[in-house]
A and B are shown apart, each in its own frame.
Chain A
Amino acid sequence: MANFFSDNKDLQYHLNHPLMKKIVELKEKGFADKDLYDYAPADFEDAMDSYRRVLTIAGEVCGDVIAVNAESVDHEGPKVVNDHVEYAPGTVKNLEAIVKAGLSGLTLPRKYDGLNFPLVCFVMTNEMVARADAGFENIWGLQDCAETLNEFASEELKAEYLPRVSAGATCAMDLTEPDAGSDLQAVMLKAHWDEAKGTWLLNGVKRFITKGDGDISLVLARSEEGTTDARGLSMFVYDRNSMCVKVRRIENKLGIKGSPTCELVFTNAPAKLVGDRKMGLIKYVMSLMNAARLGIGAQSTGLSEAAYREALKYAHERQQFGKPIIEFPAVYEMLSNMKAKLQGSRALLYETTRFVEIYKDYTHLSHDRKLTPEERAEMKEYTRLADAFTPLLKLFSSEYCNQLAYDAIQIHGGSGYMKDYPIERIYRDARITNIYEGTSQLQVVAAIRHVTTGTFLNKILEYEAQDNYPSDMDSVRKQLVELRKEYEAAVERVTSGDNEQIDFHARRLVEMAGHIIITYLLMRQAAEVEDYRNSAEVYAKLAYAKNKEAASYIFNSCCGDIDVFKAVIDEQ
């Protein structure tokens, strides 16, 4: 009888953000659907009420079904049977529960049988599912592939595939290959047009494909013979019903064991082109990846939530030296830091989600009608913010969930190292989050341009100028101004060097910006809800110390230093 929505006040708080008014307006476009669909809302309050009710159902499925099955799924995992994936029994039950609760197609338009919910709600379900079972979150979260179809595919393809997603069909994105991981330009899987059959045919191998045997797969393939770079790649949709893709193996992983990571062999697999040729990597995969990174932000936050709750529970229960261990400074400090990082992750998660949401809604709106100049300007601004905040979120939330899982095991002591408690699974599951969908190092590469072009600084200055912070937290505000000035100076110092110098210090700079931003977000929340006060203060202390450390590193470095680090390249 657990409900992962009802028991989480922080999640409920983020659903009620003031920007939701704008988001619901953009999503519901004058509430025109209310005359066409008996489940469409009539106004803002009606829509919000529906979101809360449906999230409560999702919370129940997560608490009562998915979380309950997590341990057996982790032990049993999926298998390859007759060249296809056979799920663990618990995974099958999870999928059935989701279909019965009618939660699939959460964000898809109603004309494709979807619920037309905002991305914020989808991200919330991702987070709750990940708290229950991070491995299953991949299977749930990949329905986001349908969003890419909805954005770029022809009406014919949408009508064919999207209602299936709403009915519970699973999705996969088949991008990476044995020689094309982080570097997707190297993709070689071949697509050729077969005149006789009147279809594109796919041939080749894909590797490390999450949920690789999904009902509907988006496949990145080389459609332009003789090319070797990104410009020869197109996006295709493959339907599992044609049974032309074999699962050669499922990887044996450290964590997220319920999520099948497949090696796939395509043999004359018929597929349909999505959007325009040659735009596969340049446009569509970029959109897919940004959505996936937001998904990992949610998955990481869900894992942090799970780790924090396990640690808190154990620290209360475990008695040593005649009292519960939570009463020892070493433990309560750890837990408070964990909570601050968890709430900081979530604050950044929903701030980012709202930016992504608004620019995507404007994009959809622009397909229906011409945007006004103000709308166009706003869309551009939110697109830039989404581009900047998405890698920042992925970096922070995934690193934090690893730190939380690590600390949670520490609080469990020797027991945490045993298979007896869920925390060991959470620890293993967390480890992938800062690797897949772009490693932390690659998030820094994506984010650094917003350090050098000033997107982060401008946003920080905007937060600084706002006045919606607790009046008695002025000392923290002063510290943040100090940190901002220091950040500016550090950026100036680093960017005065060459590109290698910038790359070398990039992570430090991105993290400095992130710490300041998250502190502002938590302070803003503390002004509204007293419960956030402690986390805001604790996070401010962490942020101050971390930024001082980074600044000291940067100001104590000079160009020659890099050679000291480069020496390792010559070692064998």
Chain B
Amino acid sequence: MKKTLKIVVLAKQVPDTRNVGKDAMKADGTVNRAALPAIFNPEDLNALEQALILKDLCPGSTVQILTMGPPRAADIIRDAMFRGADGGILLTDRKFAGSDTLATSYALSRALLKLSPDIIIAGRQAIDGDTAQVGPQVAEKLGLPQVTYAEEIVKIDDNEIVIKRRLERGVEVVSSPLPMVMTVNASAPECRPQHAKRVMKYKHARTTSELQAAQNDYLNALCNEKEYLNIQEWSVADVDADDQQLGLLGSPTKVKTIENVVFQAKEAKKYTNADEDINNLMVELIASHTLG
């Protein structure tokens, strides 16, 4: 009998940078969020799927989403609930604004201390910053073991998890005691789709500020009556955080300049039609993400 796990998935709502147009950046070099649709960070969806697989393996486990962001980031918590998460917490406060990875991981770790999960799962990195720092920093701040580049959970026992990692030149299978932090690669299975009945059950889920903004008596009554429709909202005070370590104050990262890089093909390579050459070309194209 496997134990029931308390799982928290760290997720971020990001601008969809996969299909950017010319108005994707503002003149000052920052991302023009208004021009790009806000989406669930793709690798965080891979992380969510790993959490849901664990939940399937260990019945009775719970999956919570923890996200830091503006009020509309509640959208990704709802999306996660439609796919199988039990609920979520939105960490939102003006004092969080402008946080770099250090300040973000500090804020998240404060919230996680309150939640004390058995397993924390995050996507490897977000497509807006591409740093891959937040997961590892959270682990460091909480003093927990971390497994990065996770692709598959091989085994879960009462006190141990065995994970396959996808590395540049192969795979590695490692084990870790619980509690722990894992970050998940895009090569892990895609997240399951939204589930019809869950969508209908959770579509009215709201945060307190959303309810206040909507001024809708019916929604208020519904959320009052049904506990599972309440998405929690935590402020700085709720997680007992130190203002000095948050937002711009707590962010040592400074953007020096932003350059607009235009790729230009400058060199030509010659390949023969020998199997080996074709193979090398394929490996190169896959490595550069041109293919696959």
Q: Which residues of A contact B (CB under 8 A)?
A: 38-41, 49-50, 53-54, 57, 60-61, 97, 100-103, 115
| CB-contact partner of B200 in A53, A101, A103, under 8 A | A53
A-B contact pairs, 5 of them (CB 8 A): A53-B199, A54-B199, A97-B193, A101-B192, A115-B200
Contact A60 B199 (CB under 8 A): no
- Of A39, A49, A97, A100, which contacts B201 at CB under 8 A? A39
A39 is contacted by which of B192, B193, B194, B200 (Cβ under 8 Å)? B200
B195 at the interface (CB under 8 A from A): yes
Residues of B participating in the A interface, judged by any CB pair closer than 8 Å? 192-201, 203, 226
Residue on B nearest A38 in the bound complex, by CB? B201
Q: Are A50 and B199 in contact (CB under 8 A)?
A: yes
Q: In the complex, which residues of chain B have a beta carbon less than 8 angstroms from the beta carbon of A53? A: 199-200, 203
For A38, what are the chain B residues with a Cβ–Cβ distance below 8 Å? Answer: 201, 226
Shortest Cβ gap from A559 to chain B (Å) = 58
B271 to A: closest C-beta gap in Å = 24
Q: Is the CB of B193 within 8 A of A57?
A: yes
Selected contact of A101 from candidates B196, B201, B203, B226, CB within 8 Å: B196
B198 proximity list for chain A (CB < 8 A): 39, 102
Complexed CA–CA distance, A101 and B196 (Å): 6
Residues of B with C-beta under 8 A to A60: 193
User: Nearest Cβ distance between residue A547 and chain B, in whole angstroms?
Assistant: 44
- On whether the beta carbons of B194 and A57 are closer than 8 Å, the reply is yes
Question: How distant is A393 from chain B, measured CB to nearest CB, in Å?
Answer: 27
Minimum CB–CB distance for A414 against chain B, Å: 27
Instruction: Give CA–CA (A39, B81) in the complex, Å.
Output: 13
- Give A4 Cβ to nearest chain B Cβ, in Å: 14
Could you say which of A40, A49, A50, A100 contacts B195, with CB atoms under 8 Å apart?
A100
Taken together as a complex, chains A and B put the C-alpha atoms of A241 and B201 apart, in Å, by 33
> A39-B197, A115-B197 are contacts. A100–B192 as well, Cβ < 8 Å?
yes
Known: A38-B201, A49-B203. A54 touches B192 (CB 8 A): no
Q: Which single residue of chain B is at the shortest CB-CB distance from A103?
A: B196
- Contact of A102 (CB < 8 Å), options: B195, B203, B226: B195
Q: Given the complex of chains A and B, what is the CA–CA distance between A102 and B193 in angstroms? A: 9
Q: Which residue of chain B has the shortest Cβ distance to A110 in the bound complex?
A: B197
- Residues of A within 8 Å of B201, CB to CB, are 38-39
A61 to B195, CA, bound (A): 11
Minimum Cβ distance to chain A for residue B57 (Å)? 16
Task: For A49, list chain B residues within 8 Å (CB).
Answer: 203
Q: Contact partner of A41 among B193, B197, B200, CB < 8 A?
A: B200
Query: What separation, in Å, do the CA atoms of A38 and B201 have in the docked complex?
Result: 5
A-B pairs with lowest CB-CB distance, top 9: A39-B200, A102-B196, A102-B195, A101-B193, A39-B201, A39-B197, A100-B192, A54-B196, A38-B201
Does B197 contact A101, Cβ atoms closer than 8 Å?
Answer: no
Contacts of B194 in A (CB 8 A): 57, 101
Q: In the complex, what distance in Å separates the CA atom of A61 from the CA atom of B194?
A: 10
Give bound CA distance, A115 to B201, whole Å. 12
Residues of B within 8 A of A50 (CB): 199-200, 203
Name B190's closest neighbour in chain A (CB-CB).
A64
**Interface hub of B192, B194, B195, B200 (most chain A Cβ within 10 A):** B200
Contact between B196 and A57 (Cβ–Cβ < 8 Å)? Answer: yes
Nearest residue (CB) in B for A106 is B196
A57 → B minimal CB distance (Å)? 5
Minimum CB–CB distance for A2 against chain B, Å: 13
| Distance A53 CA – B194 CA, assembled complex (angstroms) | 10
B75, chain A: closest CB distance, angstroms: 14
Q: Which residues of A contact B196 (CB under 8 A)?
A: 54, 57, 101-103, 115
Q: Are B197 and A100 in contact (CB under 8 A)?
A: no
Q: Which residue of A lies closest to B19 (CB)?
A: A1
- CB-based nearest B residue for A58: B196
In angstroms, Cα B192 to Cα A115, docked, is: 19
Chain B residues whose CB sits within 8 angstroms of the CB of A102 once the complex forms: 195-198
- Contact A54 B193, beta carbon cutoff 8 Å: no
Closest to B226 in A: A38
Residues of chain A contacted by B226 (CB below 8 angstroms): 38
CB distance from A401 to the nearest CB of B (A): 28
Q: A50 vs B226: C-alpha distance in the bound complex, in angstroms? A: 18
Q: CB distance A61 to B199 under 8 Å?
A: no
With a 10 A CB-CB cut-off, give which of A39, A50, A53, A103 has the most chain B CB atoms. A39
Specify which chain A residues have a CB less than 8 angstroms from the CB of B203 in the assembled complex: 49-50, 53
Q: What distance in Å separates the Cβ of A35 from its nearest Cβ neighbour in chain B?
A: 11
Docked complex Cα distance between A41 and B196 (Å): 13
Residues of chain A within 8 A (CB-CB) of B193 are 57, 60-61, 97, 100-101
Other than A50-B200, A102-B195, give 13 A-B pairs with Cβ distance below 8 A: A40-B200, A41-B200, A53-B199, A54-B196, A54-B199, A57-B193, A57-B194, A97-B193, A100-B192, A100-B193, A101-B194, A102-B196, A115-B200
- CB neighbours of B200 from chain A (8 A): 39-41, 50, 53-54, 115
B197: chain A residues at CB < 8 Å are 39, 102, 115
Closest A-chain residue to B195, C-beta based?
Answer: A102
